[in-house]
């Protein structure tokens, strides 16, 4: 268990996006977090752009965290994005001076997530997954490597809505982009803390 005197071991799964850029900024400077890995997932825009955005943001904040490229599309559905909100690059109106070199891993998000979780397990630590985008990568992880579940402290997800959504009438974007993935995560038995549209 994580205590107040120790840092929380974290993997961040993200699709930056302006909203995720803000969340990443807070996370990267949070003294309570030990960020072991950032994985990217198609969502706000396509996988190449969100991955580049993660690397650009790391350079902007002068941070060095390994980044692994994840799922380019939902499990079953056609991809959709929010480029109408975030711009074609995902960071409309913001210019960045290149990417953080040497942070992009050859590993896929799936393999990198499994490795980091099991490294933590070997050290007697559980890992928290902080998800800021669609849950595709997490669903793939839990289905491919169900043994990691016991080594995940919890999943803290930015997504979902208790009342009205922002994708159609009822759906929230991060869940609505890949509802099949969300169903797998919610049914996994891993503790999920949902931070929905009503927060903030």
Give the model's confidence band at 143: pLDDT under 50 very low, under 70 low, under 90 confident, else very high: very high
Residue 152, pLDDT score = 99
In a domain, 1, yes or no: no
In a domain, 200, yes or no: no
Count up the domains in the chain and report the number.
1
Higher pLDDT, 141 or 1: 141
Give the percent of the chain with pLDDT over 70. Answer: 92
In a domain, 27, yes or no: yes
Per-residue model confidence as pLDDT tens digits over 59-78: 999 999 999 999 999 999 88
In a domain, 24, yes or no: yes
SS3 127: strand
In a domain, 94, yes or no: yes
Residue 3, pLDDT score = 47
Residue 115, pLDDT score = 99
Give the model's confidence band at 57: pLDDT under 50 very low, under 70 low, under 90 confident, else very high: very high
In a domain, 19, yes or no: yes
In a domain, 190, yes or no: yes
Per-residue model confidence as pLDDT tens digits over 174-195: 888 999 999 999 999 999 998 8
Residue 36, pLDDT score = 98
Per-residue model confidence as pLDDT tens digits over 85-112: 777 777 777 778 888 889 999 999 999 9
Give the model's confidence band at 167: pLDDT under 50 very low, under 70 low, under 90 confident, else very high: low
- Could you tell me the residue range of the domain that residue 59 belongs to? 10-195
Give the model's confidence band at 4: pLDDT under 50 very low, under 70 low, under 90 confident, else very high: very low
DSSP at 124: T
In a domain, 48, yes or no: yes
> Residue 87 maps to which CATH number?
3.90.245.10
Q: What is the token pair recorded at 105? A: 């891993």
Task: Write the DSSP assignment of 50-89 as a string of letters.
Answer: HHHHHHHHHHHTT----EEE--SS-SSSPP---HHHH-TT
Rounded to the nearest integer, the mean pLDDT of the chain is: 90
Q: Which H or E element spans position 110?
A: helix 109-122
């Amino acid at each position: 268990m994580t205590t107040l005197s120790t840092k929380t071991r974290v993997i961040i799964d993200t699709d930056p996006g302006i909203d995720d850029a803000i969340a990443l900024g807070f996370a990267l400077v949070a003294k309570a977090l030990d960020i072991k890995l950032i994985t990217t997932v198609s969502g706000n825009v396509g996988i190449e752009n969100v991955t580049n955005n993660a690397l650009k943001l790391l350079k902007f904040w002068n941070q060095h965290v390994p980044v692994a490229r994840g799922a380019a599309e939902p499990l079953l559905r056609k991809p959709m994005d929010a480029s109408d909100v975030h711009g074609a690059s995902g960071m409309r109106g913001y210019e960045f001076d290149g990417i953080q070199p040497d942070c992009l891993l050859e590993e896929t998000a799936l393999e990198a997530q499994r490795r980091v979780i099991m490294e933590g397990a070997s050290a007697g630590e559980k890992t928290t997954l902080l998800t800021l985008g669609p849950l595709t990568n997490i669903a793939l992880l839990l289905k491919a490597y169900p043994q990691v579940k016991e080594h995940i402290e919890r999943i803290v997800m930015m997504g979902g809505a208790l009342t009205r959504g922002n994708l159609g009438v009822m759906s929230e974007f991060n869940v609505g982009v890949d509802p099949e993935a969300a169903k797998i995560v919610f049914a996994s038995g891993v503790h999920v803390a949902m931070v929905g549209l009503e927060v903030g």
